């Protein structure tokens, strides 16, 4: 399977990668859907919404504070590093990550969209301005802007729209790139879950890497069952020998 993926990638002059929470699992960051994805008695999907924040910003911020604490101790793993190496191998390369942990950025990758935002960035609920808030743990919960309004994490919650400029960029990539690697995503969170179908409709090829089958598996040209931290470095090593 890995060899077949390398064959596809070798023939391609452009590479798009989409990642989800699974790529950061080997850095010790819990995914949303999985046995380690639980937090107290809440479901992530019930906390990551504008309604939950409106109702109870303190609980939502406690959850983000807990996640930020875990992420602050985490490091990019072999999967993140392999993706940075793929960027170095291709003239046309882009990464769309659904992750908000910032770990891809810490590998030095340049061509990337964090399509669901970044949880180290906050947004003033009154003024709309965004800035980094790196305190972990937070000094006050919920944290407040200098204007006095509550700050929120600058992430896209369930029920919210992805900023239009990022969607436009994603569609341009999906319409013009030849090959897509989809790594560590359950393929159920829209609109990103529909991205592979768009690329495929344009004649593109898809390689999926996940520890289990997903709704994307049947669409993929190659579906590799395995950990991103193991499979991606194998792919990079194989490609380096021939590119
Ligand atoms: P998800 O939690 O729905 O699914 C995770 C997927 O990763 C599953 O399909 C699982 O089988 C797979 N996986 C787990 N470990 C893996 C490994 N080592 N190698 C390969 N695959 C592995 O995550 P999602 O699809 O990204 O969608 C959920 C939303 O959750 C996204 O919007 C994302 O922003 C958010 N989220 C982000 C983080 C983060 O930033 N690290 C963590 C949790 C959730």
pLDDT tens digits for range 191-207: 999 999 999 999 999 99
The predicted model gives 68-85 an average pLDDT of 97
Ligand 1, atom 13, lies closest to the CA of 22
User: CB–CB of 2/235 below 8 Å?
Assistant: yes
- Output the ligand 1 site: residues, CB below 6 A: 20-22, 24-26, 29, 31-34, 98-101, 116, 184-186, 189, 209-212, 214, 227-229
Nearest ligand 1 atom to alpha carbon 20: 26
Nearest ligand 1 atom to alpha carbon 19: 26
Residue 39 pLDDT > 80:
no
Place of tokens 């452009």: 14
Instruction: Give distance in angstroms: CA of 142 to centre of ligand 1.
Output: 26
| 116 carries an active-site annotation | yes
Nearest ligand 1 atom to alpha carbon 214: 9
Q: What is the mean pLDDT of the chain?
A: 94
How does residue 71 score in pLDDT terms, banded at 50, 70 and 90? very high
Of 78, 80, 116, 123, which one is the catalytic site residue?
116
Instruction: Give distance in angstroms: CA of 39 to centre of ligand 1.
Output: 15
- % of the chain at pLDDT higher than 90: 91
Structural domains in the chain, sorted by start: 1-29+77-116+162-243 (3.40.50.1220), 31-73+121-155 (3.30.1600.10)
The predicted model gives 69-77 an average pLDDT of 97
Ligand 1, atom 15, lies closest to the CA of 22
What pLDDT is attached to residue 43? 79
């Amino acid at each position: 399977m890995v060899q077949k993926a390398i064959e596809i990638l070798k023939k391609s002059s452009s590479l798009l990668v989409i990642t989800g929470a699974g790529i950061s699992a080997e850095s010790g960051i819990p995914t949303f859907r999985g046995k380690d994805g639980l937090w107290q008695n809440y479901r992530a999907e019930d906390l990551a919404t504008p309604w939950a924040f409106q109702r109870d910003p303190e609980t939502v911020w406690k959850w983000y504070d807990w996640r930020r604490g875990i992420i602050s101790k985490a490091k990019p793993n072999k999967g993140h590093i392999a993706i940075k190496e793929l960027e170095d191998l291709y003239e046309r390369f882009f990464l769309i990550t659904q992750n908000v942990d910032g770990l891809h950025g810490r590998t030095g990758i340049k061509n990337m969209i964090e399509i669901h935002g970044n949880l180290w960035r906050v947004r003033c609920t009154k003024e709309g301005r965004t800035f980094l808030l790196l305190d972990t743990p937070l000094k006050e919960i919920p944290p407040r802007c200098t204007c006095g309004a509550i700050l929120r994490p600058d992430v896209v919650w369930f029920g919210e729209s992805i900023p239009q400029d990022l969607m436009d960029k994603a569609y341009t990539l999906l319409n013009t790139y030849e090959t897509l690697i989809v790594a560590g995503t359950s393929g159920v969170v829209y609109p990103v879950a529909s991205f592979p179908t768009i690329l495929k409709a344009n004649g593109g090829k898809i390689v999926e890497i996940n520890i289990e089958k997903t709704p994307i598996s049947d669409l993929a040209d190659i579906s590799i069952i395995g950990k991103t931290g193991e499979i991606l470095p194998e792919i990079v090593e194989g490609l380096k020998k021939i590119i």
